[in-house]
Amino acid sequence: MERLVAIVGQLIVEIKSNELSAQGGRHLIADTRILPGGRSYRQALYAKQEGYSTILLGRIGDDHYGKIILDSLNGLGISTQFVEVSKNEYTGISFEINRQQEAAPSVYFDPGASTGRGEFHYLLEDYLALCDVIILNQWLHPDLSARVLDMAAKSGIPTVYVCSAPPRDKPLEVDYLFLEAASSFRESGAVQVRKGRFLGSDGELAAYSPGGEQVYRLQLDRKWDGDYLAIRLMRSLSGTPRLEETASFER
């Protein structure tokens, strides 16, 4: 059965040009293309290449730049559709890559600011209900992340939080925690635990075993991209994650 993964994080874009010329002291960039380039988008593409279907939660703004991004996605052969994430909070766009060289068809969707275009077709709940695993990259949008975590907890969907530092406002519990260890733990690289809870101070994390015993207390001392750990997770999805186990992943 095909596995479905939700990835929450930034879409971001990369502006690429084939020509750069200068006229009258001004730089003219010709033949530009705007491509998605965020860590979440790359993770979603990796999952797709591995044969998983994925849902990408990112952002497309409602300004002129957001319209350029949307039009560029369409120009790259990506069909878009509007999604209602919340009646009072967010609206977004779903889009599917239709390229023959890609793996199994994947659905990505963006619950950021509304572009003010189109009709809504789907709800966030309808997408997440289909997922086997949810990955959150950073604490990019606290309200959205908290909403996804709450829905995941109610549905029992395993949730991975790829982090460089915890949120400051309140403790957060997830099913799995991936992190880059502090210097004293770097020989073991990333750790995965069955249950974890962030401490209140910025940069600290306490991880607990299924029995409630504190097994890690780490001080995070630098930020990192996070791609590698999510890729590790993708590679571990050959079967349903077993929440009763504690495992480690070498970097």
> Does the pLDDT value for residue 242 go beyond 50?
no
> Does the pLDDT value for residue 224 go beyond 60?
no
6-20, 35-49, 92-106, 162-176, range with greatest mean pLDDT: 35-49
> Does the pLDDT value for residue 250 go beyond 60?
no
pLDDT of 192: 39
pLDDT of 138: 58
- Give me the sign of the Cα torsion angle 66, 72, 75, 81: negative
> pLDDT, tens digit, for every residue of 26-80?
555 555 666 666 667 777 777 777 777 777 766 665 566 666 666 766 666 666 6
> Does the pLDDT value for residue 244 go beyond 50?
no
Residue 222 has which token pair?
A: 């630098």
Backbone dihedral angles phi then psi of residue 186, each to the nearest 5 degrees? -65, -25
pLDDT band at 134 (very low <50, low <70, confident <90, very high): confident
pLDDT of 204: 42
> pLDDT, tens digit, for every residue of 145-157?
667 777 777 777 7
pLDDT band at 238 (very low <50, low <70, confident <90, very high): very low
pLDDT of 180: 37
> Does the pLDDT value for residue 131 go beyond 70?
yes
User: What per-residue string of b and e applies to 79-88 under the rule 16 or more CB within 10 Å gives b?
Assistant: ebbbbbbeee
Burial (0-12, 13-18, 19+ Cβ within 10 Å), 1: exposed
pLDDT of 44: 73
Full set of structural domains in the chain with CATH: 10-125 (3.40.1190.20)
Beta-carbon contacts of 103 under 8 Å, excluding residues fewer than 6 positions away, are 48, 49, 50, 51
Look at 181 and 111; give whichever has higher pLDDT.
Answer: 111
From CA 178, how far away is CA 6, in angstroms rounded?
A: 16
**Residue 231, phi-psi category: left (phi > 0), alpha (psi -120 to 50), beta (remainder):** alpha
pLDDT of 7: 72
> Does the pLDDT value for residue 198 go beyond 70?
no
